[in-house]
Amino acid sequence: MRKEVVLITGANGEIGHGLITYLGQQGNVNIIALDVQPLDEELKPYCMRTIQGDILDQMLLGRMVVEFEIRSIFHLASILSTKAEYNPETAHRINVEGTLNLLRLAVEQSQWQGQPVKFIYPSSIAAYGIPSLEVKNSLGKVKENEWGNPITMYGCNKLYCEHLGRYYAYHYRQLAAEPEKSSIDFRCLRFPGLISAMTVPTGGTSDYGPEMLHHAAQNLPYKCFVRPDTRLPFMAMPDAVKALLMLHEAPREKLTQTVYNVTSFSPSAEEIYHMVLKYFPQAQVEFSPHLSRQRIVDSWPADIDDSVARQDWGWKPDYDFERAFEEYLIPAIRQRYTA
């Protein structure tokens, strides 16, 4: 008998750490963790199996189809926005072909199982593209279907993969005998920038938020690569994990769209700096904007409208800006760096 499992790709990444730790502590799912890097030791006890491998390796994915009954996939692996600009075609392969491989795996699994496999896909505010800072500053909360002209390869990849998921869920092999059984159950979140106390992201453009905090906590000087007035939506990692799991659990009939915005708070870089100073008065931050990274964040909305997620599946973050620092980030980060 094949074992029923949840597959998490990009397991060693920022969201992977948060999700595996949470699910592992709940202890009621068999996690298969896939990452191109060896999985961190601290995550291994939570996983039934850890696989070091590439989502572009179709033989590897094929073997997984045979070995496991994959009920849900959290496809977290991707190359983030800044890093993707250094090698856009490689990023495209990993972000798009990698996702296509996982979608194909999900379809095969669904056919074997005679029921849809859930496919949870984290998209991003990078899927938006606002033409200028003036326009950005004039907008209120941006809805899912607005401003969809991303200026980064990562943003294009995310937006396209949202469509790929929708295609595989609703339009792939429409002539199959029982499409309702063989198609996948694709659900997608558009995340804002994420801040975790346990990990720092690599290669993203919202990274100045977490980097500022992690540098201050280690007493290191930090050069912030955006202007102080730069404003982006952010979310604390426990809320990101909560959003993924709430969307995973939501009754299918409640979902009125494939892609949902979720957000918590929208501070400027200067407000993040002041919040960091409140807890680490010795923090040394110099604002030294990097032209192309600044341009990327200037094309992302300052705030997004997550009212449909709130309506359809009861989304509500636990942490606002103050609470995220006071009750989650600061205690956990102090513990982390003193340990």
Residues annotated as catalytic (active site), given as ranges: 154
Asked whether 137 and 181 are in contact (CB, 8 A), the reply is no
Residue 108 or 214 with smaller CB distance to ligand SER: 214
Scanning 18-26, 31-39, 42-50, 201-209 for contacts with ligand SER by CB under 6 A, the matching segment is 201-209
Shortest distance (Å) from residue 60 CB to ligand SER:
26
Scanning 96-104, 136-144, 199-207, 247-255 for contacts with ligand SER by CB under 6 A, the matching segment is 199-207
> Letter for the amino acid at 159?
L
φ, ψ for residue 322, nearest 5 deg: -65, -50
Does position 124 interact with ligand SER (CB under 6 A)? The reply is: yes
Q: How far apart are CA 54 and CA 52, in angstroms?
A: 7
Alpha carbon of residue 93 to chain centroid: 18
Shortest distance (Å) from residue 158 CB to ligand SER:
7
Does position 264 interact with ligand SER (CB under 6 A)? The reply is: no
Q: How far apart are CA 222 and CA 271, in angstroms?
A: 15
Does position 204 interact with ligand SER (CB under 6 A)? The reply is: yes
C-alpha gyration radius of the chain: 20
Residue 193 or 317 with smaller CB distance to ligand SER: 193
Scanning 57-65, 87-95, 204-212, 244-252 for contacts with ligand SER by CB under 6 A, the matching segment is 204-212
Does position 72 interact with ligand SER (CB under 6 A)? The reply is: no
Shortest distance (Å) from residue 196 CB to ligand SER:
11
H or E element in which residue 124 lies? strand 118-124
Q: How far apart are CA 319 and CA 14, in angstroms?
A: 18
Residue 80 or 120 with smaller CB distance to ligand SER: 80
Cα three-residue angle 157-51-65, rounded to 5 degrees: 75
H or E element in which residue 195 lies? strand 193-195
Interface size with ligand SER, residues (CB under 6 A): 10
Does position 50 interact with ligand SER (CB under 6 A)? The reply is: no
The pairing of beta strand 3-9 with beta strand 31-35: parallel
Cα three-residue angle 294-296-298, rounded to 5 degrees: 70
Alpha carbon of residue 126 to chain centroid: 11
Q: How far apart are CA 49 and CA 58, in angstroms?
A: 19
Q: 252: which residues sit within 8 A by CB, 6+ positions away?
A: 185
Does position 199 interact with ligand SER (CB under 6 A)? The reply is: no
Q: Which of 126, 156, 212, 285 binds ligand SER (CB under 6 A)?
A: 126
Site for ligand SER in 205-224 (CB under 6 A): 205-206
Residue nearest to ligand SER (CB): 204
Q: Which of 80, 96, 195, 235 binds ligand SER (CB under 6 A)?
A: 80
Site for ligand SER in 146-165 (CB under 6 A): 154
Query: Interface with ligand SER by CB under 6 A: which residues?
Result: 80-81, 124, 126, 154, 191, 193, 204-206
